[in-house]
Each structure stands twice: as structure tokens, then as C-alpha cells.
Chain A
């Protein structure tokens, strides 16, 4: 049992050694739980996830400076526990969602409103959920602009409630949960194969990353060691996924500033990546290719050559894009100083990916807690300080170059590696748990599984990077004009499905 008082993770963990997944597991009492929440508030460590599991609440904590991470568990027999959100705002939506899905009672949570529960689930009619009470914004000449859930473009559904004074946004409030599919509930009792397919569809754009995270978590739980070739192939797929989205995003952001030609070029490069992926791995988005125990498809000499050629084309093709961006002051006029995320907020919300790294954070799961193959490749973590749309583009541009470098290194390693299996033989199932932190293109995603001795999933929890990015979008739009919202939103490119699950 941990005594109260906020202390560093190092002191809390003391002599406890980490499990196979690198996480130290602690059991705390209510006072200890509160102390951890206050420690998150005081930036002694960062909150990575918060979830309910079979009569307990659990939080994952990271202290990248000391390379430590932990999962703290508090027993909640009646469902009540001290709210983390009352001390540490980033936990508020996590706790609202948990209350909707599991009936937990976060005592002291400042926001009584439901989050994922819109009051229409047949099993749980919730009159309190409708109509949803948006936060008030009062003053002369303010008007509201409701947007969504069905948006004008081809994007996922969500509701944005703008309060504007003329063109200037005074407040934006998001309402999400429209694409809640009950993925965690579906995973409970599912076989590993089925749960892997579900995990790969938590957010389709990060399918390789989620497949990767699920595989790592299961492998950690069962001490299942994937073959070397599989590890290299996972890295190649994960980086191809990152490349495809970063390039697409740069184009899409420019498109929202009316630079259609840049987008056309970027979509061509993206299509090239997808076709190459289809040729090499049999699926344009590489869905279901990364599985527990290894991967399902090998890459031979011709495939290696195909991807090397792709990287060549991307290098020259994207150089033109960067040049066009750099030489267009009217474009930068839209992106520079637009939608600023402050370093303070990025740090407090431990915003992952380009949102955090464009605002001074240096966290990248591949570098902070390297998982194979990233423990064996050299790359630089891209960072910027301005926190605006331009900085988020800048981080992506640099990461595109870094990802290409990583793929080159992995291809070299693969070419030298001796042929062999791409999937380890199955291991005997046992009751165990494992977790993983994987850097998806959008940011770090956390995934934890608890498995039973029948080879089934007893509990799966995933926390998309979007959870800690969506709230910052509300802050970043403040004082900007309504017309800049699409630009800003695109520069965040948060996942609705990854968030709603």
C-alpha cells in the first residue's frame, strides 16, 4: 500500500521491478490514488490512461525522464472512487466515459454530464443525456454555430458547438461519442484472433499501429517472442502507415487554405504508398498484417526493392511539396500563428504526436520507451516550439524524412537477415496481462489486455492519442476566426472512432 503525499514515480515504485512489458504494477488505497492524481497535476509524471477493470480502476503513468512507467490499481467494490479529474483536468473525459460504460462513480468529478452515452442505448435509457447541456457563453452580440454530427466533408461524425462574436470564436465545445461501437465490450470474451481484428479497427487510419500495440500487449502477457523478420516487418508497415498519413495531412491542411495543387500532389504520393503496400503486403492499409506472434506476410528481395523505389519517388515528389509550401507566403499567412497550442497545455494534457511535438514536447513513444524494432534504428524526434498550424506541418515534414530513414534502415536489416519464420509458434494460454505504448502517426496510443487461461481476452482497454488532443483543439481555436477552424482541425486530425471506440 502506498502512503499519501505526492512523490516521484521512482520513490513510489521503489524496489518493485517491471513486468515483461516494462510496466511496474502497483496496488494503492484511496489515499495513494489521490496522491497519484495530485502527482499528475504537479507534473511529477504524466497520466497515460485511466480505465475500469473488474471492480477496480486503474491508471497508467509515465515518467519518461527516468524511463519508468507504472499501472496503479485501486479496488472499487461499490464503484465509487476519488475522481482523478478533480485534480487533473485531462482525466475528466476519461472518467465521464468510464461512468457511462461501467457505472463507476468518480467522487468529486467536476462535470456531471454524460460523455459517450447520448441517452439512446436500448440497454440504458438515460433521460439526463438529452438534450445535452452545452456550457454557457454569455454576452452581447454572441451567437452560436452548431456543426455536425454530419459534416460537410467526407469525415467522421462529431458535434462542434461554436460561440462566436462576429467572426472570432469565443468558445468551442465538442460533443463526441457518435461512433461508439462498443469495441471494448466486444473484445471481452473474444478469442485472440477476433480481438486482434477488432483492435485493428479501433481507428482504421491507425490499423497497423493498433495491430502492433495489441500484438505487443499479448506477447508481453504470454512471454511470446516474435521472430526477427516479423519485428523488422512490423516497423516497416508502421512507418509506411505514418508516411501515408503525414503526407496526406500536409496536403489536406494546404487544401483547407485553398492550395489545391499541393493536395493533389500529396494525394498522388499517398496513393503510391498504398499501392506499394497492397503489392507488398496484400492490403492497401495493411490491415490484420501485424498479429500476436509476428506478422502474416513476408517481404522478399523484390518487395524490398519495390519499397526502396517508393522511397526514392517520395523523396523527389515530396521535395516539390516542401518547396511549394516554403515559397507560398499567402499559404503561410494562413498557417503561421493560427491555432496556437501553448507548451503549458501540451505538457499538462501530455498531448501526443505532432500536436505535442509542435508545442515543445519531446515525447515520442518510439524514443522514450523503445519497443522493437525501434531499439535498433537511429532517428531524430522532430520538435517545434510555436504550437501553431505551421509548426504541426513542420513536425510532419521532418517526420516524413525520419520515417523514410527508418524504413531504409529496416530494409537493410531485412535484406541481411536470414530467411526464417515470420510468426512464432503458438504458446500455451494462461491468465496474465500485458500493456503496450505504441507511437501511431497521430501520437502515442496505450493498449492493455488481460487474458484468461482459455486463450481469450478478459478485458481490453485502448486509449487513442486523440483523447488528449481533442480538448486542446477547443483551447487552440479560441480567439481565432471561424473560417480558420477547418485548417486548425485538419492540423490536429484527431480520430473520432479511436476516441469513441
Chain B
């Protein structure tokens, strides 16, 4: 116990300060939500991640959100195992033809109201894979997208900012 306390005093905590929602992202989400069903979600969002063709770089940074530095759950954001439990689909990759049906089915299995975040350059606009005959296109070519987070891959702090702005917006509008 003593060494635990000493460690806590000397090393400090591993977590980072919560990032502020970015105005531009906020505006984008506000517009998207204006058109769609909303409901009070409380201070929480359940996220289902779907890799629709990613190189797995984005997955690594999404994973990092769960580490003690970012500790995403303290913001009320949590990854869930089933689309049935999800408010948000966090989709990565250019959507491949081979993943299109699985993505559509996952979207259909997610209860309303729901939001879709396209994460990474590929999900936003196919990235380096643009023009491939094996890809359908960006996520928005397959399901409606509410928020786009560019980057290759976007660092965890940027993902966090985006998700927090999504949550702030879904709360503000629903009160």
C-alpha cells in the first residue's frame, strides 16, 4: 500500500485531460443530427466498431482508446460486442465488396436512434485505395454517415475529440 501511494505521488496518473470538442466537428454533427431521430441517451454512448476493409492501422488506434492513458470509459463512451447494444457504429476502411453485406447487416441490426462515424482517410474517402475495383467506396456509399474523422490513422486524441463532440451534441439536442 505504501509503495502504491508513493508511486501515485511520484509518478502521477497516466490519464490525459479530456479534449474539448472541436467546433468544426461539432457543427458537422449538429447538422447531421438535426435531420435524424434523437433521444436522450444520458451521458453515455455505446460504440460498435466495424472494420469494413481497413489495413488494421485504425483498429490499433481505436484500441489505444481503451488504454489507461485515454481511458475512454470515463467519458461515458464504451465499446460493445453487439450492434444490438450500440448507439454508434464506428466504421473503418474503404468498404470492400466482400464486406458490404456484413456492414449493411450490422447497420440494420443497430437499433434507432443510431449514428455512424466514418473513421480514417479510407472510411472518409477510400484513402490510398481509391479507384480499386475490389472496393465499393467510402462508408457513405453504403450507409448514411453522421461524422467523418480523417487521418491515417487519426491519433487516439483526435478520435476522442470526435466522439466527445458526437456525445455532447446528442445530449444537448435531446434535453
Contacts and interface: CB of A to CB of B under 8 A. Distances in A.
Interface of A: 116, 118, 120-123, 149-150, 152-157, 177-183, 185-186, 194, 197-198, 201-205, 207, 264, 267-268, 270-271, 274, 278, 284-285, 287, 495-497, 500
A270 B153 CA distance: 16
B73 interface: no
Contact of A156 (B59, B67, B83, B152): B59
Contacts of A201: 55, 57, 127-129
Contacts of B79: 154
The 3 closest A-B pairs by CB, nearest first: A204-B57, A182-B134, A267-B67
Nearest to B121: A201
A180 B96 contact: yes
A181 B133 CA distance: 8
Given A178-B98, A204-B57, A204-B60, 13 more contacts: A154-B59, A156-B56, A177-B98, A182-B133, A185-B132, A185-B133, A186-B131, A194-B128, A264-B68, A284-B61, A495-B56, A496-B56, A497-B55
A68 B55 CA distance: 32
B146 interface: no
A497 B93 CA distance: 10
20 contacts: A149-B99, A154-B49, A156-B56, A157-B99, A178-B96, A179-B93, A179-B99, A180-B98, A180-B134, A181-B55, A181-B129, A181-B132, A182-B129, A186-B128, A205-B56, A264-B68, A267-B68, A270-B64, A274-B64, A497-B54
Nearest to B53: A179
B108 interface: no
B167 interface: no
Interface in B11-65: 14, 49-64
Contact of B67 (A198, A268, A284, A495): A268
Q: Is the interface of B mostly helix, strand, loop or mixed?
A: mixed
A194 B131 CA distance: 13
A285 B133 contact: no
Contacts of A204: 54-60, 153
Contacts of A155: 51, 59
A118 B98 contact: yes
Contacts of A287: 57, 152
B163 to A, nearest CB: 14
Contacts of B141: none
Contacts of A157: 50-52, 99, 102
A271 B67 contact: yes
A180 B134 CA distance: 7
Contacts of B62: 154
Contacts of A149: 99, 102
B63 A497 contact: no
A286 to B, nearest CB: 11
Given A181-B53, A186-B129, A268-B14, A152 B97 contact: no
Given A183-B129, A204-B56, A270 B67 contact: yes
A75 to B, nearest CB: 27
Contact of B64 (A118, A194, A271): A271
Given A204-B54, A268-B69, A181 B59 contact: no
Nearest to A501: B134
Contacts of B50: 150, 157
Contacts of A278: 155
A150 B106 contact: yes
Nearest to B61: A284
A207 B152 CA distance: 12
Contact of A267 (B52, B64, B106, B133): B64
Given A179-B53, A204-B56, A285-B57, A120 B100 contact: yes
Contacts of B127: 201
B84 to A, nearest CB: 12
Contacts of A182: 129, 132-135
Nearest to A272: B69
Contacts of B63: 154, 267
Interface in B153-167: 153, 155
A287 B82 CA distance: 31
Contacts of B59: 154-156, 204
